[in-house]
């Protein structure tokens, strides 16, 4: 039994639903795990999310910027901080 299973069981026992967290996938990623993380959060098919990201890239040009922002701002599975938050924390530590 892992921590996720334990958390899910304790939420079921107490009758409270567990809050979903937006996380990038560490295992099922094609690039940075953004599409898989969004699909899990939205409870949608990952192929549909990937097609939507591709459509944003092709039709509006905003797709790459939004994907990059999501990659920097959404933490990876098993991590507490995103890449951007870790970088900012490191910069604050250097300035002191």
* CA dist., res. 41 & res. 25, Å (int): 11
The model's pTM is 0.71
Model confidence band, residue 6 (pLDDT cutoffs 50, 70, 90): very low
Q: What is the predicted pLDDT for the residue at 1?
A: 47
Report d(CA 79, CA 24) in Å as an integer: 10
């Amino acid at each position: 039994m892992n921590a996720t299973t334990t958390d899910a069981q304790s939420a079921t026992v107490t009758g409270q639903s567990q809050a979903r967290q937006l996380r990038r996938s560490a295992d099922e990623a094609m690039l940075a795990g953004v599409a898989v993380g969004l699909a899990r959060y939205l409870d949608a098919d990952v192929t549909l999310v990937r097609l939507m990201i591709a459509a944003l890239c092709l039709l509006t040009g905003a797709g790459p910027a939004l994907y990059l922002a999501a990659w920097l701002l959404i933490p990876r599975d098993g991590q507490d901080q995103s890449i951007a938050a870790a970088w900012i924390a490191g910069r604050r530590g250097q300035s002191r």
